[in-house]
Chain A
Amino acid sequence: MTYSAWWWAQRQSAPQKATDMVHFFSGVVLRDLTLAARRRGDWLTALFFFVMVTSLFPLSVGPEPELLQRIGPGVLWVAATLASLLSLSRLFEDDHRDGSLEQMVLSPLSTVVLVLGKATAHWLVYGIPLLLVAPLLGIQFNLPWEAIAVLVLSLLLGTPILSLLGAVGAALTLGLRGGGVLLTLLILPLYTPALIFGTGAVDGVMAGTGAEAHLSLLGAFLLVTSLVAPWVAAASLRVALE
């Protein structure tokens, strides 16, 4: 089916029942959570990657507390971005290899809901641990308590953006040679607003100008992304599996 034909079919087919969509969504999320629970190595690797990358910075730039405090928010945010990209390349890959992804896309249930479920599960498995470990790393970087609180808040708003935009990249690069590096190349420029607003919130609270403006903008970016990204990712999956 061509893309435009699919688009019209989506628009004109009888609306799916909301309960069906909720069922499908929770099914996808639960399935991915179960898989993650049985393969703990995967998400522990991403978590330790995050911890190790941030710990490398004091070793390379020096241990002065003022300097570390200055670069800390940026380092934590960049490391979180890279850690999420590391895991995103496998978002659809395993299901693609065993054929279950194709079945789910072919089913009459909405591909958009499938993508949303996958991105949500990715955020729960990879995003939440980052939030939990970030305060510890913040202490390592000598950040004050208010700054650490804002850092966690900014990651709470920002990591879903990483998962949603990353889902687009993962769908576009599905099954390609060197897909992981390519995904990084495609998606990192799109991450810049999240990086700027997230780091800016922490900087703002340390400079005394407050974090609300940055956090509001980060929230707005999250809303825009959650409106656009699932549809584009679903269309990309269709293209990749055609």
Chain B
Amino acid sequence: MNFFQYASPSTFYHLAGKCIPWTGWTAGILAVVGLYVGFFVAPTDFQQGEAYRIIFIHVPAAWMGMLIYLAMAFWAAVGLALNARLPFMMMRALAPTGAMLTFVSLWTGAVWGKPMWGTWWVWDARLTSTLILLFLYIGTMALWSAIEDVRRSDRAGALLTLIGVVNVPIILFSVVWWNTLHQGSTVGVTHAPKMEATMLQGLLIMTAAAWLYAITATLVRVRRIILERERKTQWVNHLLSQES
């Protein structure tokens, strides 16, 4: 099997179309199962009561927010190295999902923080670095929307993502360092060291659901980007005339 066959947007368009129902439905079923386990099966936490249950949304979203930025950087590097079109489309399709999940993790974190710490927001190292990650997503998307020429916009965004990903560990380190010096241990984000087995199961199921959701959303978006960019080609015209 030639793997590069799928580097062509037209082949990938159909491949993605075949994948979307599978990943989408699996994501939906896993989310239902995960939320059921999280909200009904998992026991009440003895310290945090019922409020801890937001972890089943918060933690998967936070993990995916970070992972998607790495995935963007991966596609950026592939696109620049191989000078292909599809990797850049993947990179662009990933960004809105990543930004959304990062925002969800901040939002649910605030909602969780209010009953636990008594405040919506603390300048904790994790919160701060997640906020900066959101800023990085926003900056990249702003750059894309400011450049009209597709070729330049793709490559500029890719370079920005690459320099961002080099910077992310430094930012993370500096924020942790800053936090330990400034804040002391007024608020610890330490979880209970031993997690109940059902809690962990729910968390893992929700993570898988978030993962598949991100893949589905990206594939749907990349199909639209492919159609938009290839609108002048014969295969798209053929496809559209079939559908109408």
Listed in ascending order, the chain A residues whose CB lies under 8 Å from chain B are 2-5, 165, 168, 172-173, 176-179, 182, 185-190, 192-193, 196-197, 200, 203-204, 217, 221, 224, 228-229, 232, 235-236, 239-240, 242
Contacts and interface: CB of A to CB of B under 8 A. Distances in A.
A4 B174 contact: no
B59 to A, nearest CB: 23
A155 B147 CA distance: 33
Chain B contact residues: over half helix, strand or loop, or mixed? helix
Contacts of A178: 146
Interface of B: 80-83, 132, 135-136, 138-140, 142-143, 146-147, 151-152, 155-156, 159-160, 162-164, 166-167, 170-171, 173-175, 177-178, 181
B171 A182 contact: no
Given A2-B83, A192-B175, A196-B178, A228 B163 contact: yes
Interface centre among A172, A187, A236 (most CB of B within 10 A): A172
Chain A contact residues: over half helix, strand or loop, or mixed? helix
A3 B155 contact: yes
Given A3-B83, A4-B81, A188-B135, A196 B175 contact: yes
B73 to A, nearest CB: 13
B80 A3 contact: yes
A69 B166 CA distance: 34
B142 A186 contact: yes
A176 B147 contact: yes
Contact of B152 (A179, A186, A192, A239): A239
A196 B170 CA distance: 11
Contacts of A185: 135, 138-139, 142
Given A173-B146, A200-B178, A228-B166, A189 B159 contact: no
Contacts of A239: 152, 155-156, 159
